[in-house]
Amino acid sequence: MPKEVVLDIETQNTYQDLGVRDHRQLKVSLVGIYASDRDEYQSFLEPELPRLWPILEQADRVIGYNIKHFDLPVLANYYPGDLSRLPCLDILEEIERKIGFRIKLDDLARATLGRGKSGNGLQAVEFWRKGELEKLRAYCLQDVRVTKEVYEHGLAAGQVVYMDRLGRRNEIPVDFSLKTNRRALNLTMGL
């Protein structure tokens, strides 16, 4: 069974705070993961990120929603190597390639699973600012859980679902299977 990690990050600040859309200026508040080899959810605050690196480096694949264009670029601010070398499945990227536009994770989850996320990223920033770390952790891990369930549904059924603007149900065929053997990585943190 492949070692897969489903990942989602929350940040301490927003692009609006910065006045510019530059992921290099965003700071991580918390990273949530699901590790399939341990069947376990975990979270890491910013100072704990070095404990996350070996988990990502040892994964056969890292899975997320907009992970290639948000989560991993923000984490790259902290990682001493090249996160773009990690084998990765970006569910949003796969869906956009199929239908030509982007869909929010919450909308995809509601149509596919019948339930969605517990809030939005701005709430997570507010939890951080108020020092409500348990609420932040719960919010992030719920996003991880939803992403994992959308992934598992797509893997098993070969499709996910969205509702178009007219309220019609649309199936999107997907192939989330692990397609290649794990490629060699230059590990930066050791095992």
Cα Rg of the chain (Å, integer)? 16
Establish if 59 belongs to a structural domain: yes
Is the model's pLDDT at 175 over the cut of 90?
yes
In this prediction, residues 106-124 reach a mean pLDDT of 84
What are 34-46's pLDDT values in tens digits? 999 999 999 999 9
Q: What does pTM read for this prediction?
A: 0.89
Establish if 188 belongs to a structural domain: no
Residues 6+ apart with CB under 8 A from 179: none
Residue span of the structural domain in which 142 resides: 4-173
Establish if 186 belongs to a structural domain: no
pLDDT at 18: 65
How far is Cα 107 from Cα 114, in angstroms, rounded to an integer? 10
What are 60-104's pLDDT values in tens digits? 999 999 999 999 999 999 999 999 999 999 999 999 999 999 999
Establish if 190 belongs to a structural domain: no
* CB 32, CB 6: distance < 8 Å: no
Establish if 67 belongs to a structural domain: yes
Q: Spell out where the chain has E strands.
A: 4-11, 28-35, 40-45, 61-64, 88-90, 159-163, 169-173
Establish if 184 belongs to a structural domain: no
115 C-beta neighbours (distance < 10 Å), count: 11
Establish if 178 belongs to a structural domain: no
Q: What is the 3-state secondary structure (H, E, C) of 43-86?
A: EEEHHHHHHCHHHHHHCCEEEECCHHHHHHHHHCCCCCCCHHHC
The CATH code of the domain that includes 144 is 3.30.420.10
Establish if 182 belongs to a structural domain: no
Judged on CB neighbours under 10 Å (0-12, 13-18, 19+), 47 is exposed
For residue 72, the one-letter residue type is: L
Give me the number of domains the chain comprises: 1
Q: Are strands 4-11 and 61-64 parallel, antiparallel or unpaired?
A: parallel
* CB 139, CB 124: distance < 8 Å: yes
pLDDT at 19: 65
122 C-beta neighbours (distance < 10 Å), count: 10
